Amino acid sequence: MAYVSIESDERMEEGPEGLQFQSFLGSDPRGGNEGAAGGSTSRGYRQDSGSSKFWTFEYFQPYFDVDTKTVLQRCYMTMFPPSATSYQGAYLSPAPDLYGPFWTLTTLIFALFVCSSLSSAIASWLSNPAAAAHIVYDFSLIFTGTSLVYAYGLLVPVLLWFGLRYLGVGEWSVVDAVAIWGYGQFVWIPVALLCVIPIAIVRWAVVGVGALLSGYFLMANVYPILASADAKSVRLIIVFLVLLHAGIALSFKILFFSYYALKDIGPADPTASGVVP
């Protein structure tokens, strides 16, 4: 009987070069890096692992799952200018939320009405202490504040996102835009509290500082998105946003904190056209 020696192929023994075995148990076969919890984080925002649609409550539910400590930190850091340029990556990570922006805007509406009413009462008392007990509060300011704050804090970022998508700029998600814009309005809450001070020039200074802080925060986060567009003209949108922000700051001052006593405390306000008894 003849024996034939057959040489073994080393490649057959070792297997194809770079061959690795991976378990796909618990992963979504549709792709992505989702874990057992069913959520994923990509580019700083969450993606729903289920089949929920954009217009359903289940789609947005994960964006309201955030603890109070995180929300407060995200609020406070909007008033710290050095953190503005890295805010999205450092403080909105691993995912932005919608609870904080809604909480910030709603609290701002409440603060504007309460502080404006208190400011009016103080101005009336300084002008005529005897008539201070007959103050009638203007509840229409609630409607004014709700319309102004929600329009600027929610509608503007959504329209900006739609506009950038139309122009081919896809660096943002709509949740990113609303989160940045909503948290960016937090500074107006302490501004409203400080505007109770019955000194006209101080109120203007406080509103000016608030406008600078919130404006710098918004522009520092928006301009890099605009700069990523192929068309250089897209960057001009920043000019419109600056003018819009200045208009909002001026509206807050005139609509809610233009109460003056007959006997002013401190330097006179050169823009005051009259007094409120």
Residue 231 lies in a domain: yes
pLDDT tier, 40 (very low <50, low <70, confident <90, very high otherwise): very low
Residue 119 lies in a domain: yes
Range of the domain at 232: 87-256
Rg, C-alpha atoms of the chain: 28
pLDDT in tens, 178-227: 999 999 999 999 999 999 988 889 999 999 999 999 999 999 999 989 88
- What is the spatial distance between Cα 82 and Cα 232, in angstroms, rounded to a whole number? 26
Helices then strands (H, E): number in the chain?
Answer: 11, 2
- What is the spatial distance between Cα 109 and Cα 23, in angstroms, rounded to a whole number? 52
Residue 196 lies in a domain: yes
Residue 73 lies in a domain: no
19 vs 258: which has the higher pLDDT: 258
Residue 264 lies in a domain: no
